[in-house]
Amino acid sequence: MTITGGSALPKEDIERMVREAEEHAAEDKARREEAEVRNSAEGLVYSTEKLLVDNADKLSDDVKTEVQAAVGELKTALAGTDVDEVKAKHAALLTTSQKIGEALYSASSTAPSDESAPADAPASDEDVVDAEIVDDEDEAAAK
């Protein structure tokens, strides 16, 4: 704790405040760590659920069930007060949710490829226009 400026507090009060801040530093650190762990876990739950919904048609029922079970376990841990359990369930969900990526990757690599032109490519060369940009100010200055 830093006290700056012209303080109207007596020196004893300032020393007491500094001492109390030092005594509670460990508690503050533990609360901050718990908040960070919970925020991270809640973010993982949200993003994993969104990923499941967005890709439901591309995932097998086995993968969906396994990931949903891990999400449920983390939600249960978040409802409790044990930070170590939240950390463990967070790590388990991270590992399990990787199966979504694996399933999506294997689905995209086994999908039949379309040999035609890419969707963003022009239909034919007739649509392409070759042009040159001429700055009128440069031509006027040259004359």
Query: What residues does each domain of the chain span?
Result: 38-106
Q: What is the pLDDT of residue 142?
A: 60
Tokens (6 digits) for 92: 């388990």
Q: What is the pLDDT of residue 32?
A: 92
pTM score, whole prediction: 0.61
Tokens (6 digits) for 78: 């978040």
Amino acid sitting at position 73: E
Q: Does domain 38-106 sit in CATH 1.20.1270.10?
A: yes
Tokens (6 digits) for 96: 């399990």
Whether the per-residue pLDDT at 57 is higher than 80: the answer is yes
d(CA 6, CA 3): 9
Whether the per-residue pLDDT at 126 is higher than 60: the answer is yes
Whether the per-residue pLDDT at 116 is higher than 70: the answer is no
